[in-house]
Structure 1
Amino acid sequence: MGKDTAVNASDDAMSFIPPSIDTARLLSGDSYAYYTPCPAGITPYDKSTTVPQTTEPTPCVLGVDEAGRGPVLGPMVYGAFYLPLELHHSLLAQEHSFDDSKVLTPAVRANLMRLINTPGENLYESCGYAIKVLSARDIGSGMMKPGAAVYNLNAQAMDATIEIIRGVLQDHAVNVQEIYIDTIGNPATYQAKLERIFPSIKITVAKKADSLYPCVSAASVAAKVTRDVALEVLYESVLKAQQLDDNSAAPEGWGSGYPSDSKCVGWLRRNMDPVFGWGSECRFSWGTAKEMLEQKGGARVDWPADDDEGNGMLSDFLLASGPGKGSSKDGLRDWFGQRQAEII
Structure 2
Amino acid sequence: MGITDAEIYQFVQIESEANLLSITTAMDLGDFEADNSVSCRLTSAVPEVCMAEDCCLGIDEAGRGPVLGPMVYGICFCPVSKKEELRGLKVADSKTLTEAERETLFQNLSDAKDFVGWALQILSPNTISTCMLQRSKYNLNALSHDAAIGLVQYALDSGVQLKEVFVDTVGPAEKYEEKLSQRFPGLEVTVRPKADSLFPIVSAASICAKVARDHAVKGWNFTEDLGEVDTDYGSGYPGDPKTKAWLLKYLDPVFGYPQFVRFSWSTAKNLMDGKGFPVYWDDDEEDGEKAAVRQNNTSMLTYFNRSTGSTAHGAAHQSHRFFTERRLQGLNTL
Given the two structures, how large is their TM-score scaled by the length of structure 1?
0.74
Residue 127 (1) aligns with residue 111 (2):
no
Q: How far has the Cα of 1:263 moved from its partner? A: 0.6
Say if 1:72 and 1:283, in contact at 8 Å, map to a contact too: yes
Residue type of the partner of 2:248? R
Residue 92 (1) aligns with residue 86 (2):
yes
Q: Give the fraction of aligned pairs with identical amino acids, expressed as a percent.
A: 36
1:131-210 correspondence to structure 2 within 5 Å? 131-146=120-135, 149-170=136-157, 172-210=158-196
Compared CA separation, residues 111 and 150, structure 1 to 2 (3 A)? same
Residue 302 (1) aligns with residue 299 (2):
yes
Which of residues 219, 222, 226 is equivalent to 1:242? 226
Q: How far has the Cα of 1:22 moved from its partner? A: 3.3
Compared CA separation, residues 252 and 128, structure 1 to 2 (3 A)? closer
- Cα separation, 2, equivalents of 1:252 and 1:137: 19
Which of residues 227, 234, 244 is equivalent to 1:255? 234
Which of residues 253, 256, 259 is equivalent to 1:277? 256
SS for the counterpart of 1:221 is: helix
Say if 1:20 and 1:131, in contact at 8 Å, map to a contact too: no
Say if 2:92 and 2:204, in contact at 8 Å, map to a contact too: yes
Deviations 1:296-342 (A, max 9, x none): 2445373218x9xx9xxxxxxxxxxxxxxxxxxxxxxxxxx9xxxxx
**Structure 2: segments with no counterpart, 5+ residues:** 1-14, 280-297, 306-326, 328-334
Say if 2:32 and 2:39, in contact at 8 Å, map to a contact too: no
Deviations 1:222-273 (A, max 9, x none): 0000011011111xx34995336xxxxx746111111011111100101111
Which of residues 32, 48, 59 is equivalent to 2:54? 59
Farther-moved stretch of structure 1 (20-29 vs 272-281) = 20-29
Q: How far has the Cα of 1:26 moved from its partner? A: 5.9
Say if 1:81 and 1:130, in contact at 8 Å, map to a contact too: yes
Residue 104 (1) aligns with residue 97 (2):
yes
Compared CA separation, residues 262 and 142, structure 1 to 2 (3 A)? same
Q: How many residues align?
A: 272
- Cα separation, 1, equivalents of 2:19 and 2:99: 10
Q: Who is 2:19 aligned against? A: 13
**Structure 1: segments with no counterpart, 5+ residues:** 1-8, 45-56, 245-249, 311-336, 338-344
SS for the counterpart of 1:66 is: strand
- Cα separation, 1, equivalents of 2:32 and 2:120: 16
